[in-house]
Amino acid sequence: MSVIAVLNAGGWGTALSVLLARAGHQVWLWARRPELAAAITITRENAAYLPGVRLPEQVSSTADLDAAMAGCDVAVLAPISAGMRTLAKRLAPLLPSDALVVHGTKGLELPTLLRMSQVLEAELGAGQAGRVAALSGPTHAEEVGRGVPTAAVVAAADPSVAQALQAVLNGPSFRVYTNRDLVGVELCASLKNVVALAAGMSDGIGGGDNAKAALLTRSLAELGRLVVAAGGQAETVAGLAGIGDLVATCTSRHSRNRRAGEQIGRGQTLDEILRDSRQVVEGAPATRAALALAERWGVRMPIVEQVYAVLFEGRGPLQALDELMARDPTGER
């Protein structure tokens, strides 16, 4: 049994707490807001972010970060991407020197364009260099929390770190694979949200199965080009962090990004959606990051370009589709 601190009591952090408790670990679930921690403690449920899932007795909730980190063997970080650096700064003086660190955040930092592991290593100090891991794959919190069979990947530059975390996370309903391609896994995790927005837009304008299949396939080609240009492995795009997460995110009713894209396809603006939504749509900042990375490395990403134009330049989804279809014919690559 390990003592595990799960930092951020959103839907994903709560689902991971339930998963880890069911695997026999003692879990501290840290919430930024004391009232949320208190409500979780009293009701044994995070009704705000993961309703209907009862938390096992092995999960204790607190708003005291010092208490959550005391004696922990593993720190699991699950904030939104924009909050990772702030959390890491708070965590740095509290992290035991031998603790493992894994994050489950699917995003990139703006404006730095850094991956989450890079942010963590910069803030946590030299002792964590090369030891930070990422958990990714088709892992909707709603299903993980209910114990629906799920497969995921944990990636770290150090294989021993990935294997140690695999042993902690693996369970009867949660099968974990290891991967050394941290670059590819983290980029796939972030940029699939851009594709989910595009898939939702296709749904919103009444696009058919053919259109969505073409969109997913060509998006994988774009993602593969970017991953390789960044130093990742093309094979990662064909794995759980790539096509696995892409399929789940682009087809599921649970996906916030796909749902936001569908709303845009039906005429809403991004500003309207963000104003009305309680949860973050990571695909919006990820689109900015993806286009900036494509320009940095000279990678062709026409689908990402059109998503950017719809989100931030006022282009209509139908016009974006027309422009994609009107591109010069080319070979499939």
Is the CB of residue 68 less than 8 Å from the CB of residue 7? yes
Residue among 75, 77, 68, 1 at smallest CA distance from 30: 68
Is the CB of residue 8 less than 8 Å from the CB of residue 33? no
Within 10 angstroms of residue 86's Cβ, the number of other Cβ atoms is 11
Residues 6+ apart with CB under 8 A from 204: 261, 262, 263, 264, 265, 266, 317
Verify whether residue 192 is a known catalytic residue. Answer: yes
Q: Count how many Cα atoms sit within 13 Å of the Cα of residue 157 in the half-sphere of its side chain.
A: 11
Within 10 angstroms of residue 163's Cβ, the number of other Cβ atoms is 13
Is the CB of residue 121 less than 8 Å from the CB of residue 149? no
Is the CB of residue 4 less than 8 Å from the CB of residue 73? yes
Cis bond before residue 111 (omega within 30° of 0) = yes
Is the CB of residue 178 less than 8 Å from the CB of residue 159? yes
Residue among 179, 159, 262 at smallest CA distance from 227: 179
* CA triple 47-50-55, angle to 5 deg: 80
Pick the catalytic residue from 89, 106, 192, 212. Answer: 192
For the chain, the C-alpha Rg in angstroms (whole number) is 19
- Residues annotated as catalytic (active site), given as ranges: 192
